[in-house]
Structure 1
């Protein structure tokens, strides 16, 4: 186990969230697992990580009630957002690729957290490089994403 936090889930009450390194090979997988106060295990989330690079944000939960975890699969940082629902947490929504570090609905690769701000909320700063004419010469742009109550959308 890498770490754990106790959070207050709006539907389930006390929930303990664990960050675990699942494999010890050269290509480790991290796991986010959670258990309710009554001992019911919630659906776990696998995420590709480099070594032990899976951490809770500080603070782990912001004013939205979402819980934030940062990870790094070996190149760029990413942010996982645990969004509470009636049965535990919304599906991260990994894409159909074998990679579990990019393309998720609540997984933001090449991103970092900012805040929490005066409103008690985190924003997510997401970067992109379109690699034109090449990745080394391409321009990196940044977009700030903010919670609207259902998802993170571009601000402005």
Structure 2
């Protein structure tokens, strides 16, 4: 186990979130797992990580009640957002940990957190490369994503 945090889930009460590194294969895999205070295991999330590059943001939870985990599969950091729902957490939005490069609904590869700001909320700074004419020569753009109560969307 790499780390754990006790968070206050709006529907389930106290939940302990674990960050675990598994190395059963040649590819290092991390896991984000959670258990309620009554011992019920919630759905886990597997993600490729480089060495021990899986950790909680500080603070782990912001004013939105979302919990933030930073991962790095070997090149750039990514941000996983655990968004509470009545059964645990929303689906991150990928079916295979190899999708960490393309991200998911609540998984942002090539991203970093900013904040929390005065409102107690993090924003996500997401970078993308045009790869035109090549990725080494492509233009890099950044977009700031803010929580609207359902999703992280670009600010205008």
Q: Distance in 2 between matches of 1:98 and 1:80?
A: 12
Offset at residue 55 of structure 1 (A): 0.3
Q: Distance in 2 between matches of 1:47 and 1:65?
A: 22
Q: Distance in 2 between matches of 1:24 and 1:138?
A: 36
- Per-residue Cα deviation, 1:89-116 (whole angstroms, up to 9, x for no partner): 000011x566141331100000000000
Query: Any stretches of 5+ residues in structure 2 without a counterpart?
Result: none
Secondary structure of the equivalent of 2:98? coil
- Normalised to the residue count of structure 2, the TM-score between the two structures is 0.96
Matched, 1:99 2:103: no
Secondary structure of the equivalent of 1:75? coil
Partner of 1:5: 5
- Maintained 8 Å contact 1:48/1:100: no
Offset at residue 5 of structure 1 (A): 0.2
- Normalised to the residue count of structure 1, the TM-score between the two structures is 0.96
Q: Distance in 2 between matches of 1:2 and 1:92?
A: 20
Secondary structure of the equivalent of 2:141? strand
Query: Which of 126-135 and 140-149 deviates more?
Result: 126-135
Offset at residue 137 of structure 1 (A): 1.1
- Maintained 8 Å contact 2:50/2:74: yes
1:57-136 matched pairs, under 5 angstroms: 57-94=57-94, 99-101=98-100, 102-136=102-136
Partner of 1:23: 23
Query: Any stretches of 5+ residues in structure 1 without a counterpart?
Result: none
Q: Distance in 2 between matches of 1:98 and 1:59?
A: 25
Secondary structure of the equivalent of 1:99? helix
Runs of 4+ residues over 3 Å off in structure 1: none
How many residues matched? 155
